[in-house]
Amino acid sequence: MTEALSEALLIRRVDTLEEIMKELGYQSLRTQKELARLSKEMREFKVEMHAFKDEMREFKDEMRAFKTESERDRREMNRQWSDLANRMGTLLEDIVAPNLPRVARQLLGCPTPDFFAIRVKRRFGGETREYDALVVCPNLVLINETKSKLQSAHVEHILETIEEFPRLYPEYADRRPVGTLATLYPDDSLVRLATRRGVLVMGMGDETMDVLNPQALKTNG
pTM over 0.75: no
Q: What distances in angstroms separate CA 87 from CA 20, 93, 95, one per listed residue? A: 97, 10, 12
Q: Using one digit for the tens of pLDDT, what is the confidence trace for 34-59?
A: 878 877 888 887 888 888 788 888 88
- Please indicate, yes or no, if residue 34 is contained in any of the structural domains: no
Rounded to the nearest integer, the mean pLDDT of the chain is: 82
- Please indicate, yes or no, if residue 70 is contained in any of the structural domains: no
pLDDT attached to residue 115: 94
Residue 160's pLDDT band (cuts 50, 70, 90): very high
- Please indicate, yes or no, if residue 168 is contained in any of the structural domains: yes
In terms of average pLDDT, the best of 10-14, 121-125, 176-180, 201-205 is 176-180
- Please indicate, yes or no, if residue 23 is contained in any of the structural domains: no
CA atoms of 165 and 89, how far apart (whole Å): 23
Of all residues in the chain, the percent with pLDDT exceeding 70 is 81
Which positions ≥6 away from 16 have C-beta within 8 Å? none
- Please indicate, yes or no, if residue 142 is contained in any of the structural domains: yes
Which positions ≥6 away from 198 have C-beta within 8 Å? 179, 216, 217, 219, 220, 221
pLDDT attached to residue 6: 63
pLDDT above 80: residue 80 = no
pLDDT attached to residue 221: 54
Section 120-138 average pLDDT: 89
Burial zone of 2 (CB within 10 Å; 0-12 exposed, 13-18 middle, 19+ buried): exposed
Nearest to 141 by CA among 162, 168, 164: 162
- Please indicate, yes or no, if residue 204 is contained in any of the structural domains: yes
Which positions ≥6 away from 196 have C-beta within 8 Å? 219
pLDDT attached to residue 189: 94
The b/e string for 47-58 (b: 16+ C-beta within 10 A; e otherwise) is eeeeeeeeeeee
pLDDT attached to residue 5: 58
- Please indicate, yes or no, if residue 122 is contained in any of the structural domains: yes
Domain ranges, residue 118: 95-220
- Please indicate, yes or no, if residue 111 is contained in any of the structural domains: yes
Which positions ≥6 away from 158 have C-beta within 8 Å? 143, 145, 179, 180, 181, 199
CATH (domain of 190): 3.40.1350.10
Section 197-221 average pLDDT: 87
pLDDT attached to residue 83: 47
Q: Give CA angle at 45 (40, 48), nearest 5°.
A: 130
Section 60-73 average pLDDT: 78
pLDDT attached to residue 17: 65
Section 159-173 average pLDDT: 93
Domain count, the chain: 1
CA atoms of 108 and 137, how far apart (whole Å): 9
